[in-house]
């Protein structure tokens, strides 16, 4: 697909699975890629969801948690549609995604969430993320996809939203 000047595919990926899917979404949409990277990278111990004292467990148990992001989108005003990708943690997006959404004004923009997961769906993710943005943000239905989803599968999802 030809490059689109007004689509951004922003993603957070702890293990590389969501990164793989985000690259497919970028190819399918012609959008630019932006990785939502934590200012303090996660270690494997940080990501141990079986350990209640791990960094990810503490963040996900604190609704006010907003992990710092390493960099910003330089030209966010240029984008009209922003696909936001993430793994599902505790049935919602990781709190760093909230940090990302709260860092910009999405009024008048369209946000499309997408996620990878070991098995759970999107749960309450959309309602949680919508609270991070202006009420003037347009939201399209999110979707959980396999990290190995084909470009054709991603295109079908996108085309289905636009009907």
Tens digit of pLDDT for each residue in 71-130? 999 999 999 999 999 999 878 899 999 999 999 999 999 999 999 987 777 878 888 999
In a domain? residue 91: yes
How would you classify the pairing of strands 32-35 and 7-11? parallel
Residue 18: name the closest of 97, 80, 79, 77 by CA. 97
pLDDT score for 163? 63
In a domain? residue 2: no
Number of domains in the chain: 1
In a domain? residue 1: no
User: What distance lies between CA 94 and its chain's CA centroid?
Assistant: 9
**Over the stretch 31-85, which tens digit does the pLDDT of each residue have?**
999 999 999 999 999 998 889 999 998 988 898 999 999 999 999 999 999 999 9
Owning domain of residue 14: 7-161
pTM, entire model: 0.92
In a domain? residue 52: yes
**Spatial distance between the Cα atoms of 88 and 94, rounded to a whole number of angstroms:** 7
- In 3-state terms the chain splits into helix, strand, coil percentages (rounded to 5) of 30, 20, 50
Q: Using an 8 Å Cβ cutoff, are 9 and 22 in contact?
A: yes
Residue reference for tokens 């303090």: 40
Specify the CATH number for the domain of residue 70: 3.40.50.360
């Amino acid at each position: 697909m030809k490059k689109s000047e007004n689509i951004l595919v922003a993603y957070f990926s702890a293990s590389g699975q969501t990164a793989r899917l985000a690259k497919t979404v970028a190819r399918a949409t012609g959008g630019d890629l932006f990785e939502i990277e934590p200012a303090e990278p996660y270690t494997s111990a940080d990501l141990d969801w079986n350990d209640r004292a791990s960094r990810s467990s503490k963040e996900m148990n604190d609704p006010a948690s907003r992990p710092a992001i390493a960099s910003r989108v330089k030209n966010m005003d240029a984008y009209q549609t922003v696909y936001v990708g993430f793994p599902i943690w505790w049935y919602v997006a990781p709190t760093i995604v909230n940090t990302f959404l709260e860092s910009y004004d999405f009024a008048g923009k369209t946000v499309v969430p997408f996620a990878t997961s070991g098995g759970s769906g999107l749960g309450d993710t959309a309602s949680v993320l919508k609270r991070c943005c202006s009420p003037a943000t347009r939201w399209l239905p999110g979707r959980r996809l396999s990290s190995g989803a084909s470009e054709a599968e991603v295109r079908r999802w996108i085309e289905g939203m636009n009907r």
